[in-house]
């Protein structure tokens, strides 16, 4: 996990799905006056220059955010998400892609707080520099976000949006997300939890979604976006998924409107598609 740098993947199709949903969740929590916390277990470096060496090495944003940049037919939820990306790109050219904490902060109020964890030694320095002007409103910790969750839940306002999106470079990350969510639900069953996971050909990736559905919660929503047919050699990520615990009642309707459009916008081949599944108490 320490070798993972999100700068190599910033703005790809998985980021589009993850951040579009993150914006919807944060906006919904902000409808009530009472404060909430945003907790990010793998917060990254803050923002990512798309002309940097890491970003241009794979140029994954070209198959993600760049495909949306010039579109005029955006569904409302996609337009909302894209407007936040445009907010840190003052010109007409797409140059910088925000990290998850930036999307959260852009949709939060003065009374809300961010608690950010990052384990990579260089990325956490950039993250601290990125958020230092916000003082105690955005606290950055150099450490394991899985372990850090235990000290933060339940949060003082008893309202929180928790994003968990490890690199999944190591097999034990699949076990850790299951254990982390079980612990979260014991400590703070009323929180909103957003888990990102990759769609890969490896066994652990196939087994994760059904394991998530067996977690001790009665309200969840799962959405997946596949942009291509899985490679014959098993290499690479052909899509990604999100598992949301305690989703807002509005989210499924929004995704039903957005996902067909998103598939057409981001498809690489005829293997592209999406799924939406849910259980509501």
Q: What share of the chain is helix, strand, coil (3-state, %, to 5)?
A: 45, 20, 35
Active site residues: 165
Taking the C-alpha atoms of residue 140 and residue 47, their distance in angstroms, rounded to an integer, is: 14
Taking the C-alpha atoms of residue 40 and residue 116, their distance in angstroms, rounded to an integer, is: 5
Distances (CA, A) of 220 to 191, 206, 216, 261: 12, 19, 10, 23
Burial of 64 (0-12, 13-18, 19+ CB in 10 A): buried
Taking the C-alpha atoms of residue 154 and residue 190, their distance in angstroms, rounded to an integer, is: 9
């Amino acid at each position: 996990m320490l070798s993972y740098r999100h700068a190599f993947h910033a703005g790809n199709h998985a980021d589009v799905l993850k951040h579009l949903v993150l914006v919807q969740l944060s906006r919904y929590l902000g409808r009530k006056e009472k404060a909430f916390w945003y907790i990010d277990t793998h917060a990254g470096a803050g923002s990512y220059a798309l002309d940097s060496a890491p970003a241009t090495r794979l140029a994954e944003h070209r198959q993600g955010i760049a495909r949306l940049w010039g579109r005029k037919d955006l569904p409302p939820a996609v337009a909302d998400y894209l407007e936040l990306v445009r907010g840190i790109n003052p010109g007409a050219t797409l140059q910088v892609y925000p990290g998850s904490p930036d999307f959260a902060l852009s949709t939060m109020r003065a009374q809300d707080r961010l608690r950010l964890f990052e384990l990579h030694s260089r990325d956490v320095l950039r993250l601290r520099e990125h958020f230092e002007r916000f003082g105690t409103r955005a606290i950055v910790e150099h450490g394991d976000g899985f372990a850090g969750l235990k000290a933060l839940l339940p949060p003082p306002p008893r309202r929180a949006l928790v994003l968990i999106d490890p690199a999944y470079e190591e097999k034990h990350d699949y076990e850790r997300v299951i254990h982390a969510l079980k612990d979260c639900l014991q400590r703070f069953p009323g929180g909103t939890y957003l888990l990102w996971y990759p769609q890969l050909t490896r066994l652990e990736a196939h087994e994760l979604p059904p394991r998530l559905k067996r977690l001790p919660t009665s309200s969840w929503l799962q959405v997946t976006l596949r942009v291509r047919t899985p490679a014959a050699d098993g290499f690479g990520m052909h899509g990604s998924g999100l598992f949301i615990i305690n989703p807002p009642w509005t989210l499924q309707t929004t995704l039903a409107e957005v996902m067909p459009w998103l598939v057409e916008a981001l498809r690489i081949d005829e293997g592209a598609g999406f799924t939406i599944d849910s259980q509501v108490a």
